[in-house]
Amino acid sequence: TWCWLWLWSPSCSSRRWQALVVILCLLKLSSVSGQARYSIPEEQAEGSFVGNIARDLGLDVARLISGKARIITKGSRQYVDLNQDKGTLVIKERIDREELCGKTTPCSFSFEVILENPIQLYRVTVEVIDINDNSPSFPKDEINLKIAENAASGTRFSLESADDPDVGINDIQKYTLKPSDNFKLEVQSQPDGGRFIEMVLQTPLDREKEETHTLVLIASDGGEPHRSGTVRIHITVLDANDNAPVCSQPVYKADVKENSPEGTVVTAVSATDADKGVNGEVTFSIAHVAKEAKQLFAVNVKTGEIKVTGKLDFEKSKTYQLNVQASDHGGFTDTCKVIVQVIDENDNIPTIQLMSFSNSISEDSPPGTTIAVVNVDDEDSDGNGIVKCSINSDVPFKIESSLTGYYTIVTDNFLDRESVPDYNITITVSDQGSPPLTSSKNINVKVSDVNDNPPKFSQSEYSKTVPENNSPGFSVFTLSASDADWGQNARVSYFLEEKEINGLAVSSLVSVNSENGVVHAVRSLDYEQIKWFDFNVTARDAGSPPLSSVATVRIIVQDQNDNPPQVLYPVQTGGSMVAEMVPRSADVGYLVTKVVAVDVDSGQNAWLSYKLQKATDRALFEVGSQNGEIRTIRQVSDKDAVKQRLSVIVEDNGQPSRSATVIVNVAVADSFPEVLSEFSDFPHDKEYNDNLTFYLVLALAVVSFLFITCLVVIISVKMYRWRQSRILYHSNLPVIPYYPPRYSDTLGTTGTLQHVYNYEVCRTTDSRKSDMKYMQPMSQSLVSVDGDGTDAQQLEKQLSGNCSQMSTLVSDKLIPCFSLL
Ligand SMILES: *[C@@H]1O[C@H](CO)[C@@H](O)[C@H](O)[C@H]1NC(C)=O
Ligand SMILES: *[C@@H]1O[C@H](CO)[C@@H](O)[C@H](O)[C@H]1NC(C)=O
């Protein structure tokens, strides 16, 4: 043991310790013939001297040769060779200690030297001494590390240690890290002799400052000269999200029109983040805003573009403040304020609201009556919200502004339901936007009825003709009055106004149906009694108060030929005999007498014609067909019988015609006695004559009276008309008497009255009405004339009623009074 220790003593010089070792070791070797020990540094060149074995083993060179000394090696490699001639050992093969022993120390190999004759065995041990022939080396040239910038101080990063095959002092002695700003090196020895190297972060890294670091780790050994190995450590600082995004502008302002379509870009916000990559990615979102705003705007997560997503309504909100949050993935945020101003658009149609409205207005409302109160409104602002209200101009209404936004519609004129029953009023409002928006509303105003129109007859006077002898209940005609009003105000009822006609109540003649205005005749009318009559009918509506109007109805009774002619003269007496005297000296055309007949009918029905029906001597007499005059048609001769009997038929012109027959007795004689003798068969002849004389006197007196009366009347009428004609001379229309052609008078005027006179007397006054006036009383008195007995009293009445008849009667026997006129 001591031997090894000694050998290791570094202070020994190689030569000295070689010898010492051999000696001492030989002493110890007893099993083998001898042994030697050498120590050589590694990496000696081939042939380098190892040791003098001959000397060290006490053998001479000859012995070596004779004994055929040779080396026996156990292993495959033989590092050392024996030089027999010199008895030295030399390097046969380069020895690499690291290869031979690795890290084992001390490092030696042994071999035997064998000699024959006699066999001698010597052990030689060669110790290989390390030299610093290897540098420390790292497994890799470069180490790449990625360290997050937010790695805490004290974080350790283990590094691979370097390796140096050399041993001892030549092995790695220390490690150094450069530069050492951020890291320091900690080296720990391990039980197995290895080193555990760690890099410890001392100062935090900041990617934003320096993104990469390059360090060099140096491993140095203790050999002479020093050898070292290096490894470059590349450190990439990994970004940590340590920077918050920052908005480019603290406040963004933007204007956007209301009603902008969805997708309209309002503005775009931007933000920067100093971090890199994902950590530098900024996303945007809208935060901390009212719910409505959140629905109206959206921000693009990536670009920060703010778009409209809903319907912006200026009228709801004029500004919105959006807080757009810019955030990175690490949760760092910044808030960009966006103030959005909504610009008003004319998007609200003005509204019209009827606050109060009566759809019916009385037609008697005075101008200025309010019919409606209207409220108009426009939600827009400024000009877009200023409204103007108007109504159509073709109605009698006007619109007036009252309070702001309130208008009243009032009547502008008087209304008349009968001309315009309703009005359509169009209320139009328009604002002052561009283009302006308008809206309109129609209201219908009904004009309610007031009873302001009386019923109106189609004519104010009606004239209807009813044939006499009508059946009772005969419907004459229908009155009709219209009323322009409405409903009850237009319901017309008809009322007959009571009055008296010839002592008869009008209601006993006619009736009027109050509902439908039909005029009925109540009884059968008689022309001979009533020729016409007037009555008033009132049409009254059912309004309150009722209005009415009156129409005058004239009913004209139409004559029918219902009365036969009545013979007035010659009077038909029952017993007595009346005869006309004709002197035998009478000429041709001598007027014997005149048959006087009347017909109470009128017109054609009263036109009478006379015909000779029977005669004793047809050749002697003729009857004037129109005037009833009986004249001689030839000279009377002595041969003619005294007693002549003529039968004259009087016919009217009605359809069918009615007739009456009269017997005329004519006495052809020159003296009364002759006549009497002839008519002696008449017992009351004398009495008759007395009576006749009396009647004639009486008649004369009456006629005279009547004549004077007529005269007075005519003169006064003439006077009156003369005065009238001076004022208005046209008014006196000439009266043209009417004669049917066949009645025209063809006869001469010898001793007779002309028709002209006969009729003109009573018709001179201005119309045919007068005829009726004169005739009327007579018609009443004629009722009993039809009978057989002639009453002087009645005759008087008849005569007094009929001037014309009278005049004709008188003209024969007496002074033709009217011819004088
Ligand atoms: C009012 O309008 C209604 C319906 O549009 C129409 O029937 C009526 O005739 C109109 N009235 C007037 C007076 O124009
Ligand atoms: C009808 O009435 C008017 C006045 O209303 C009156 O003048 C006239 O005489 C009346 N006529 C008749 C036939 O009653």
574: domain CATH number is: 2.60.40.60
Nearest CA-CA partner of 170 in 231, 216, 219: 219
Q: Which residues of the chain have pLDDT under 50?
A: 1-13, 19-31, 682-683, 685, 729-821
Question: CA–CA separation, 215 vs 472, rounded Å?
Answer: 151
Residue nearest to atom 7 of ligand 1 (CA): 424
Q: Which of 534, 558, 582 is the last residue of a domain?
A: 558
Q: Is 538 in the pocket of ligand 2 (CB under 6 A)?
A: no
Residue 806 has what pLDDT?
42
Does the residue 19 lie in any domain? no
Pocket of ligand 1, beta carbon within 6 A: 422-424, 444
Domain total of the chain: 7
Q: Which of 344, 360, 392 is the last residue of a domain?
A: 344
CA 463 to ligand 2 centroid distance, Å: 15
Residue 689 has what pLDDT?
66
CA 501 to ligand 2 centroid distance, Å: 13
CA 550 to ligand 2: nearest atom: 5
Residue nearest to atom 2 of ligand 2 (CA): 536
Does the residue 441 lie in any domain? no
Q: Which 3 state secondary structure label does DSSP give 257? A: strand
Identify whether residues 576 and 662 lie together within a single domain.
yes
Does the residue 153 lie in any domain? yes
CA 421 to ligand 1 centroid distance, Å: 10
Residue 430 has what pLDDT?
92
Q: Which ligand is nearest to the CA of 442?
A: 1
Residue 428 CB: number of other CB atoms within 10 A? Answer: 17
Residue 10 has what pLDDT?
44
Nearest CA-CA partner of 134 in 98, 174, 173, 103: 98
Question: CA–CA separation, 302 vs 307, rounded Å?
Answer: 13
Reported as a single tens digit per residue, the pLDDT across 136-182 is 888 888 889 888 888 888 888 888 888 888 888 888 888 898 888 88
Does the residue 9 lie in any domain? no
Contacts of 690 (CB under 8 A, 6+ apart): none
CA 506 to ligand 2 centroid distance, Å: 13
Identify whether residues 547 and 616 lie together within a single domain.
no
Residue 78 has what pLDDT?
83
Q: Is 534 in the pocket of ligand 2 (CB under 6 A)?
A: yes
Contacts of 32 (CB under 8 A, 6+ apart): 112, 121, 122, 123
Report cis status (omega within 30 of 0) of the bond before 179.
Answer: yes
Q: Which of 112, 129, 146 is the last residue of a domain?
A: 129
Identify whether residues 236 and 247 lie together within a single domain.
no
Residue nearest to atom 8 of ligand 1 (CA): 424
Q: Which 3 state secondary structure label does DSSP give 711? A: helix
Does the residue 13 lie in any domain? no
Identify whether residues 479 and 365 lie together within a single domain.
no
Q: Is 176 in the pocket of ligand 2 (CB under 6 A)?
A: no
Residue nearest to atom 1 of ligand 1 (CA): 424
Q: Which ligand is nearest to the CA of 420?
A: 1
Identify whether residues 293 and 197 lie together within a single domain.
no
Identify whether residues 177 and 267 lie together within a single domain.
no
- Identify which of 536, 538, 550, 555 to mutate to test ligand 2's pocket (most ligand atoms within 8 A of the CB): 536
Identify whether residues 814 and 695 lie together within a single domain.
yes
Phi-psi region for residue 780, left (φ > 0), alpha (ψ -120 to 50) or beta?
A: alpha
Identify whether residues 796 and 690 lie together within a single domain.
yes
CA 421 to ligand 1: nearest atom: 13
CA 535 to ligand 2: nearest atom: 13
| Per-residue tokens: 627 | 């005037």
Residue nearest to atom 13 of ligand 1 (CA): 423
Does the residue 98 lie in any domain? yes
Reported as a single tens digit per residue, the pLDDT across 487-546 is 999 999 999 999 998 888 999 999 999 999 999 999 999 998 899 999 999 999 999 899
Residue 29 has what pLDDT?
43
Does the residue 433 lie in any domain? no
Q: Is 586 in the pocket of ligand 2 (CB under 6 A)?
A: no
Place of tokens 């380069």: 94
Would you give the DSSP letter of residue 162? Answer: P
CA 422 to ligand 1: nearest atom: 13
CA 769 to ligand 2 centroid distance, Å: 20
Domain that holds residue 218: 134-240
Residue nearest to atom 6 of ligand 1 (CA): 424
Residue 384 CB: number of other CB atoms within 10 A? Answer: 22
Identify whether residues 461 and 491 lie together within a single domain.
yes
Identify whether residues 663 and 750 lie together within a single domain.
no
CA distances for 244 relative to 105, 208, 445, 561, 709, angstroms: 61, 13, 73, 136, 146
CA 534 to ligand 2: nearest atom: 13
Identify whether residues 782 and 722 lie together within a single domain.
yes
Please tell me the pTM assigned to this model: 0.47
Does the residue 196 lie in any domain? yes
Identify whether residues 667 and 694 lie together within a single domain.
no
Q: Which ligand is nearest to the CA of 549?
A: 2
